Amino acid sequence: MARKTYLPPDDHRRVIAAVSEIEARTSGEIVTVLAERSDGYSDVALCWAAAASLAALVALAIAPDFYLGLYERLTGGWVTEWTPRAIFEVAALVAALKFAGMLLIQLWQPLKFFLVPGPIRTTRVHERAVSAFRIGAERRTHGRTGILIYLSMREHRAEILADASIASKVSPEVWGDAMIALLAEVKQGRVADGMIAAVERVGTVLEEHFPAGSGNPNELPDRLIEV
């Protein structure tokens, strides 16, 4: 299945232009990344399937007569005596069906992501952003002035990460305005506008602390990276 892209070429060009304009006024280097999602959450899906399976076994233990009677009716009522082996076979069948059923319904992606707890989403987005930062921005510039703006669409999360020279002068809280501007536009469906707004606000901070020097080489790509 083809990967979903969120922005058409014209919007990519708008983001690139915004990054280029800001970088002309600062020695900082901005990398923008737009992710469809930051993780597949297969482990979370398996946990939900296991929980559904366990819940089915607990229900069978609490009301065995009801469920065994239901099994008899479904099989035509041929069970004359419930042996321990037969009971365990029914329990194993119920657990397996619940496990498989829960996995199947989570193939519908909106439900799968709805079932992922918020703290797990936040952690996975942060981990993916850090990985992207290390690959694309960290220690990739002469003055260690790279900064990453990372937006993950499925999780509705964003991260702004800065290289050592920037982090030593600018606390993470300073990027709050950029995050607010980014997410405000994204919530309205204007993803490119959100990225541009974040770039502009990040640029304002970079201009203050890292004005452009005489050479000011472009050390990192200005393009918006979709992954």
pLDDT tens across 154-206, in order? 999 999 998 888 888 888 788 888 999 999 999 998 999 999 999 999 988 88
Residue ranges and CATH numbers for the domains of the chain are 9-39+117-226 (3.10.310.50), 42-114 (no CATH)
Given a cut of 90, whether residue 90 has pLDDT beyond it is: no
pLDDT at 143: 72
From the CB of residue 150, how many other CB atoms can be counted at a distance below 10 Å?
Answer: 27
pLDDT tens across 33-65, in order? 999 999 999 999 999 999 999 998 898 888 777
> Tokens in use for 104?
């199947």
From the CB of residue 104, how many other CB atoms can be counted at a distance below 10 Å?
Answer: 10
SS3 for 49? helix
Element (H, E) at 198: helix 191-209
Please report how the helices 64-74 and 84-105 are oriented relative to each other, as an axis angle in degrees rounded to 10: 80
pTM: 0.81
Beta strands (DSSP E) in the chain are: 29-35, 146-152, 157-162, 224-226
From the CB of residue 19, how many other CB atoms can be counted at a distance below 10 Å?
Answer: 27
